[in-house]
Chains A and B, each alone.
Chain A
């Protein structure tokens, strides 16, 4: 073991089946050994599409969070944003793996993440908008984590698919930390200086038009999530803006012009070297 050189030591002593560090290294199936059966009477196409959409939300969000690395205001925030992204990436892997089992294609996570084009992605558009300033990223994270937390709490007890229910139940614990982090920052910025409050107001105005889209399939969650968002804006001395929604839905494959560049970067290495292992 080359303990003095971390990268060399990673490469040592692992045969092909054992490599695990990045794309193309034969990452194991994250659902390895989980009972794959699908309950009788399930609409498998619908279940697969739903897993994929929830996975897309998480993957695109994780990519945006990763872009804060080396750019966050403090090291602690960089670590926090990267950790939140890592949780979401883990959720993505589980959801993609489930989609591949259910849709009958047996596709692995890499096929969904790296070899679909933007028009096949079904993430909500709020996830793909550029990071903007810290206030925008925090506001977006607050909205997305509040929504996803409510959704996963519901899914954990209502979906008939035991694998999706388990993924959701696990996600709830993680999302509670994400929401708490974003909410505390939103209050600190909103209740901070004139400059930080102005930035929070701008961020709310920019995020609000994309919030309606989140409830296209799950209208019953809207009141619950908006109550949480208002709890935060009240504590921050801000008002939740009433703005007209931007027409269209990411779930229908409508995307902003920002998704293609995001995916181009995310997919560039995998597409340049499609069979690569290392």
Chain B
């Protein structure tokens, strides 16, 4: 039993260190994509991942990488599970993950919206601080960017464009 607990901790640590393929400054744990790691009595490691977006092309890469690292670490039987519910939320990005995003020039998300989805057509003022100079005089240039989870913004103070992880 004690061995299993230690083993689970080690397996979790290994899986948690896998970098996100599209934002490699974050680990899967930072991103909140790694939901659970358990070691069954027969020694099988079961790692559960949840996709950020339905079409996230990095999902297969994440699964393969977690499985490969656990196998390399000596776990003979590894199972990767997909968890769809509850759906991933940007609220699950850890404080450490947010700090790493900001250090890399990507603005971390604010609080995700909750409840029924309303359509707002009046201009909404959202304050996103520029991750480079800290100014809040910023504007959105496109709600969609190089990956599903990011939007494009620019800073009016330092004139630099930057990416911003969207709230979902």
Q: Chain A residues in contact with chain B, CB under 8 A?
A: 18, 20, 27-28, 30-34, 76-77, 79-80, 82-84, 86-91, 93-94, 149, 153, 162-163, 165-167, 169-174, 176-177, 179-181, 183-184, 187, 228, 231-232, 235
Contact = CB atoms under 8 A, between A and B. Distances in A.
Contacts of A235: 121
A91 B84 CA distance: 12
Contact of B84 (A27, A153, A166, A181): A166
Interface string B47-63: 01001011111011101
A89 B120 CA distance: 26
Contacts of A28: 60, 63
15 contacts: A27-B60, A31-B82, A32-B80, A79-B145, A84-B144, A86-B148, A90-B55, A90-B56, A94-B54, A153-B117, A167-B84, A169-B85, A169-B87, A171-B54, A172-B117
A82 to B, nearest CB: 8
Interface of A is mostly: helix
B64 A18 contact: yes
Contact of A174 (B54, B86, B142): B54
B161 to A, nearest CB: 11
Top 4 nearest A-B pairs (CB, nearest first) are A90-B55, A90-B54, A33-B81, A166-B84
A80 B84 contact: no
B54 A180 contact: no
A76 B143 CA distance: 9
